[in-house]
Chain A
Amino acid sequence: MAAFRVTRCLIRDSARLRNVEQKSAVVFRCARRTLSSESANNSPTDGRSPQFSDEEVQNILTKITGLDLQKAFRPVKQELKPPTYRLMTDAQLAEATQKAIQVAKERLKMPPVLSERKLIDDVLAEDKFLEGLETVKYVFTDITYNIPHRERFIVIREPDGTLRKATWEERDRMVQLYFPREGRRLTPPPVFKEENLKVVFLQDRHEDILDLCLVQFEPDSPDYRRVHNLTYEDIDKHGKYDLPCSTRHFGGMVWYLVNGKKIDGLLIDMIQRDLIQDAASVIHLYHMLHPQGSAAKEAGEQQAQGIDLVKIFARTESQKAGYVELALQAYQETSTERSAQSSSP
């Protein structure tokens, strides 16, 4: 019966994932153009610091995110439909579980982390003699269907006669007007203001706000980065690391924390939940990004793996060294107890 329930949930929820997949696919497509020029040179042997889109980095982050099927497929607020029941053999059940895992992996695809977009201030023509003819701006948008939105011509003729390219905010607004995207609003909803974000964080709804942000803003806009940074800071401050765990935002959060060197809270949380391998991978990522640190050098000398990496890090570069070592000690005591219990009878 329990197996029936699980399959029913899995099959019902895997059918609802189209929207989310499309969004992530579109966002990835937008990002791929900007990243395509860099991706050719993205090997660590190049001497540049590792980027978010490197294969190694992505592998580590996907491993840490985990794959909790129950959490990935928990009920999302959608149209109420009666569930479908299917009678399956064991082999078919295994197949269906495999498919569900594939779908969950798609859902857990991380949204890209891009550097902030540079301001556009390109003047195409200065016709000063047109000054005074108009009191309003004219915004000209090119609505040719087959060009990507990043390459569209959106041009503004000011009342003083200058013909300039539109700024990023104007571009977003125009593109949303003529090619509306589902879920995105013309003016960003007031949830994204500072005071309202605080209320959202008090209600522990970090994931929802991050999903909203993903739909509303472009990944390299300053608003997107501001909201994400605030959310990650709040999670770090209150230690609510299990909220984004096993969702698509976990990788982004880990990347932000590793870049800001604030991984102590995360490590303590992981050790307390007995995820030593994940903690080791986080520290490995940290060493990849900050190879000049003392911890990285020591680890390199001793070729440490697993729990030794964590110990070296706790000794050298961690800010909350005491807490980390305490947590490590507790973990080691429990693991010795468990091995003693399992070996005694």
Chain B
Amino acid sequence: MAAPEAIELTRLVYSDVLNFNLAKDTMVHLSSLLLKHYHGGHVVIRLALGGCTNRPFYRIVAAYNKRARDSKHIEQLGSFDPLPNLYNEKLVSLNFQRIKYWIACGAHPTKPVAKLLGLSGFFPLYPMTVTKAERLRKTVAQKEALGASEEGSEEASESKPETA
């Protein structure tokens, strides 16, 4: 199942070639035709890693599913810097207009991209984010409970030798 826009473009190109009617201002995008056609491939919105040693930097990118993580993408839709800056911020840039276009074309965002979009408010919150938060609070509450019970037992053991 080739991507729908590729089918449209092939139709356009063939019709133009047959009619010898290429007007000067129609721009035929041949790049997606020349890309490899993957069997069962689809477009994804994912993070492509860049940067240097001990300094990651992600680009949010629309690419074919079967392509390598960092290789040729269809379009760059933004960036994500995982290391906080001077003002203690992680900077995320998102080209919402183009993201809307690619999602309308049927692109699948990956988990980290979906999490980022949920945190930004563009998507509803990703369920794992909520689950993680709940689990964290549970562990914190358990630790507190443990700590309280330990203190209680310590006090009890301290008071016993005093009284005894």
Contact = CB atoms under 8 A, between A and B. Distances in A.
Contact of B90 (A130, A133, A136, A153): A136
Which of B93, B95, B132, B134 gathers the greatest number of chain A CB atoms within 10 Å?
B93
B92 A138 contact: yes
B88 interface: yes
B94 A129 contact: no
A144 B97 contact: yes
A278 B96 CA distance: 53
Interface in B118-160: 119-121, 125, 129-130, 132-134, 136-137, 140
A275 interface: no
A173 to B, nearest CB: 8
B101 to A, nearest CB: 11
Contacts of A178: 93
Contacts of A243: none
Contacts of A138: 89-90, 92, 116, 119-120
Given A136-B90, A138-B90, A139-B90, A155 B134 contact: no
Contact of A142 (B84, B94, B125): B94
A130 B133 contact: yes
B91 interface: yes
A137 B88 CA distance: 6
Contacts of B94: 140-143
A157 interface: yes
Interface in B73-128: 78, 84, 87-98, 116, 119-121, 125
Interface residues of A, number: 28
A143 B120 contact: no
Contact of A132 (B89, B92, B93, B137): B137
Interface in A280-338: none
Given A129-B130, A130-B129, A133-B129, A139 B89 contact: yes
A177 B78 CA distance: 13
A242 B119 CA distance: 55
Contacts of A140: 92-94, 116, 119-121
Given A125-B121, A132-B140, A141 B91 contact: yes
A137 B84 CA distance: 8
A146 B125 CA distance: 28
Contacts, number: 76
Nearest to A166: B89
Contacts of A258: none
A144 B119 contact: no
B129 A177 contact: no
Nearest to B120: A140
A129 B88 contact: no
Nearest to A132: B136
A142 B96 contact: yes
Contacts of A127: 125
Given A133-B133, A136-B89, A142 B121 contact: no
A124 B89 CA distance: 19
A144 B125 contact: no
A74 to B, nearest CB: 40
A213 interface: no
A135 B97 CA distance: 30
Contacts of B96: 142, 144, 153
A151 to B, nearest CB: 12
B134 A129 contact: yes
Given A129-B137, A140-B93, 7 more contacts: A130-B130, A132-B136, A136-B88, A139-B92, A141-B91, A143-B94, A174-B91
11 contacts: A127-B125, A129-B133, A130-B130, A132-B133, A133-B129, A136-B84, A136-B89, A137-B90, A143-B93, A153-B96, A157-B120
